[in-house]
Amino acid sequence: MRVVNGLMKSLVCFLLLACFSGIGYAGQIEKPISSECLDCHDIAPGEIGGDYDKAITGSVHSGLECLDCHTAIIELPNEENLPAVYCGECHEEEANTYQWHGRLRVPNGEDVPVCADCHGKHDIRPSTDQRSRVHPINLPETCGRCHEDLDLIKKHEIYVQKPIEIYESSVHGKASLGGIYVAATCNDCHSVGGTAHRILSPGDPESPINHFNVPHT
Ligand code: HEC
Ligand code: HEC
Ligand code: HEC
Ligand code: HEC
Ligand code: HEC
Ligand code: HEC
């Protein structure tokens, strides 16, 4: 009898528990999972791989879930106006270094490039990979998206209006297009301390192409 009593008690306990966790479950919003995203978002326009899943899988971020970057999504379907992905969440050092672009303060400056403007969104590769947007051979195109845009250049009163054309007709550009990556590319002449995360205005005394630094650069 004592055994049966014990059994009854555990059964009641079990039912109560199941009941409470059931209520808890129904009252909670379930966090979405990455595979659900693909139901509505298949094609990733212009990215290597063609869809979000393949682009991520082939990138430096293979293994990351959609929600590791899209942290603002808490339920589905998601809102249409989400805040931008913040790469600095995991790349604190780069985010700390990247404070200026030309005379613009990051991230508040209007038209200032964000991480994804240079690196891409989902198909990000290391700069040593020829398919990377920041591989030396692709920088003229990546930087040129803004620096060949005359409206943008005029709006920001940038003095040299055709840096890509000038570059591509130069001995550096020709060597680079011919596949000799040791030739100087945008980054080599404009980056302070060798990182594109510190590209300053030529008027800045720290800029490698400041009048006084040109002989050294
Ligand atoms: C039921 C369909 C549906 C599911 C599931 C879904 N989305 Fe969306 N999502 C949309 C719609 C509709 C839009 C707005 C139109 C568009 O940009 O395609 C959108 C827009 C977006 C945007 C752009 C938002 C902006 O501010 O422009 C992102 C990023 C996004 N979704 C990510 C995700 C991620 C990550 C998941 C998985 C956790 C997901 N979505 C699951 C329907 C869905
Ligand atoms: C490494 C971070 C990262 C991961 C992981 C990631 N995304 Fe994104 N995604 C971005 C960035 C950056 C943008 C550009 C807009 C922004 O900043 O919010 C973006 C934009 C989008 C958009 C808006 C349309 C577009 O192409 O710009 C959709 C839809 C989207 N992502 C879906 C997904 C899905 C689905 C997954 C998982 C398979 C995923 N993302 C994983 C970084 C990421
Ligand atoms: C959830 C964390 C996370 C987020 C968010 C994230 N990354 Fe990463 N990223 C990683 C990890 C992990 C690696 C691989 C380890 C490493 O090499 O640092 C990586 C590697 C990289 C690399 C290659 C590093 C190398 O040394 O080759 C680049 C470039 C990069 N991420 C850029 C970005 C950009 C741009 C964004 C925003 C669109 C972003 N990441 C968002 C975690 C993240
Ligand atoms: C061999 C070195 C060198 C290379 C390579 C190079 N530049 Fe320049 N760039 C310069 C110099 C020098 C100036 C002129 C600065 C001045 O007027 O004081 C300049 C000017 C500029 C300016 C305008 C600055 C201003 O205030 O007017 C931009 C933008 C620019 N370059 C972008 C690029 C891009 C994008 C690339 C790659 C396609 C590139 N540069 C490649 C040396 C270089
Ligand atoms: C103006 C273009 C530009 C912007 C904006 C930019 N990067 Fe980069 N990034 C580059 C280039 C070019 C390289 C490779 C050479 C170097 O270090 O300058 C690079 C290198 C890196 C690397 C080292 C791994 C590699 O591929 O060499 C990481 C990680 C990285 N960037 C993350 C970020 C993050 C995170 C942000 C935003 C906070 C960001 N970048 C913004 C152009 C950019
Ligand atoms: C998303 C657009 C965008 C991208 C991509 C971009 N830039 Fe810029 N860049 C700007 C804007 C806007 C300014 C104007 C800031 C200012 O007033 O100096 C600027 C300023 C500059 C300046 C300083 C010009 C001056 O007169 O102060 C240089 C040099 C420069 N960029 C080089 C580059 C290089 C090299 C790359 C690629 C690694 C690049 N940019 C990528 C938008 C962009």
Looking at the domain assignment, is residue 79 inside a domain? no
- Determine if the peptide bond prior to 140 is cis (ω within 30°): no
Tell me, yes or no, whether 131 lies in a domain: yes
Q: Is the peptide bond before 163 cis (omega within 30 degrees of 0)?
A: no
Give domain status of residue 13, yes or no.
yes
Q: Is the pLDDT of residue 25 over 60?
A: no
Asked if residue 80 is part of any domain, the answer here is no
Single-letter code of the amino acid located at 90: C
Whether residue 9 lies inside any domain: the answer is yes
- The tokens of 141 are what? 């195109």
- Which residue from 133, 146, 159 has its CB within 8 A of the most atoms of ligand 6, so it is best to mutate? 146
Residue 20 lies in a domain: yes
Number of domains in the chain: 2
Q: Is residue 149 part of a domain?
A: yes
Q: What's the whole-model pTM score?
A: 0.91
Would you say the CB of residue 84 lies under 6 angstroms from ligand 2? yes
Q: Quote the Cα angle for 145-102-154, to 5°.
A: 55
Give the Cα separation of 209 and 188 in Å (integer).
Answer: 10
Range of the domain at 180: 125-217
* Per-residue pLDDT tens over the stretch 29-39: 577 888 899 99
73-84: per-residue pLDDT in tens? Answer: 999 999 999 999
